[in-house]
Amino acid sequence: MNIPRRDFIKGGMAGWIIAQSGSSLAVAKDTKIKPSKKIVWVMLRGAMDSLHGVIPTSDPDYMNIRGPLVETIKDKLLPMQKGFALHPAFKNLYGSYQNKEFFPVVAVASGYRRRSHFDAQDQMESGLDTTDYESGWLARAVALLDGQGLAVAQTVPIALRGDTMSQTWYPPHFTASEDDLLDRLRSLYKGNDEFSTLLEDAILNRDMLDMDERSRARPNFSYLAKNCGEILSKDGSAHCAMLELGGWDTHNNQAARLNRQFDILDKGLGELKAALGDTWKDTVVMVTTEFGRTVAINGTKGTDHGTGSTMFMVGGAVKGQQVLGDWPGLSKEKLFEGRDLMPTSDVRSWMASVLHQHWNLSLDDIAKVFPDVKPIAHAIVKA
């Protein structure tokens, strides 16, 4: 049956707008299956400045370079071993550190050595030296378990694309974007009485469906992390999940912005832990970013795109209360290209170690996930 284009647009417009108020969940949340060992990957988009989050207090060059950015927090830092300290906003993470469930890995990077956000993120999600946009590292890994991944996103990210179908979950969030979108639609249909009337009728119908549902704000990271934990704790088929958090591109006013960002991340990880419940003891959470930032401060009290960064590992299955990775130092001659923290290990090598130690994937299987790196030979997961 052929549907006239105008009628198709009419029906699609009303259906799409109303659909924004509904909620969909592709995961059965009431299953009784016992959860397996879980991996959660949190991608921080925008390049987190690790030198503001995990501070090398024993490096003699740090305060000379970064002093102005940490002046207000230098007496509030949370001490760790090997002369490092956490930013004071990481209260939950520090509690996990003291509980031997958290450690950072300093001076890491992917195989990418340029400074484009999108290219770097895509390559990290693919996990390959040459990005394959239809094959993600997490999808390849979970396929070897005959398991399934969960993307807390509206569409499947590169990391979970592959031969095995991944689940997606995301709550309705129409209220956050509706004003701008509806203004655009009203402008587009201005002068067309038929389409303008259809648009207003559809909005009215949507408003009548469920005002309480519509009044919710756009889901924040804590909300997404909480629901991710609830799903993983109840659904035996989802072995892993991917979360993401943007807002890390701090070219200006970095100190204030990162105080807020670190607090958002820290509270979200706390919500994830609480929601996982008993599953937390069998979970490893890896937190990474696409690259680091310049060691030097720029002219707008921020930092620019860099190279080396830090990854976090937290979870009940993590062998914590340590600081891993080789610290290269911040003297000028030790910086990458004279400006960035020098990476001393590949972030994928640490991910590979988690797959090997937590999921018991063989080295042959690891090579199918990360063919360009080898796992780090260090105990990072509890026996």
Q: What is the DSSP string of 165-198?
A: PPEEB----HHHHHHHHHHHHHHHTTT-HHHHHH
pLDDT of residue 210: 45
Distance of CA 61 to the CA centre of its chain: 30
pLDDT of residue 341: 98
Q: What is the DSSP letter of 309?
A: E
Q: Residue 179: pLDDT above 90?
A: no
What whole-number percentage of the chain has pLDDT above 70? 81
Q: Counting beta carbons within 10 angstroms of the beta carbon of residue 379, is it exposed (0 to 12), middle (13 to 18) or buried (19 or more)?
A: exposed
Least confidently predicted of 86-90, 197-201, 272-276, 329-333:
197-201
Least confidently predicted of 3-7, 35-39, 121-125:
3-7
d(CA 70, CA 38): 36
Q: Is the dihedral of CA 97, 100, 101, 107 positive or negative?
A: positive
pLDDT of residue 217: 52
CATH number for domain 35-172+219-369, candidates 3.10.450, 3.40.720, 1.10.3230, 1.10.3470: 3.40.720
Least confidently predicted of 3-12, 285-294, 313-322:
3-12
Residue 303, φ and ψ in degrees, nearest 5: -135, 160
Kindly report the CA angle at 9 between 8 and 12, in degrees rounded to 5? 85
Least confidently predicted of 145-159, 283-297, 314-328:
145-159
pLDDT, the chain, mean: 86
The contacts of residue 2 (CB under 8 Å, 6+ apart) are none
Average pLDDT value for residue range 134-158: 94
List, for residues 48-85, the tens digit of each pLDDT value: 999 999 999 999 999 999 999 999 999 999 999 999 99
pLDDT of residue 247: 94
Provide the H-helix boundaries in 210-321. 211-214, 221-234, 254-276
Residue 129: strand, helix, or coil:
coil
List, for residues 226-254, the tens digit of each pLDDT value: 999 999 998 676 899 999 999 999 999 99
List, for residues 15-56, the tens digit of each pLDDT value: 444 344 433 343 333 333 345 899 999 999 999 999 999 999
The contacts of residue 242 (CB under 8 Å, 6+ apart) are 40, 41, 42, 43, 138, 149, 150, 151, 152, 153, 157, 159, 160
Report the DSSP beta bridge partners of residue 347. none
Q: Residue 300: pLDDT above 90?
A: yes
The contacts of residue 103 (CB under 8 Å, 6+ apart) are 97, 312, 313, 318, 319, 320, 321, 322, 323, 324, 380
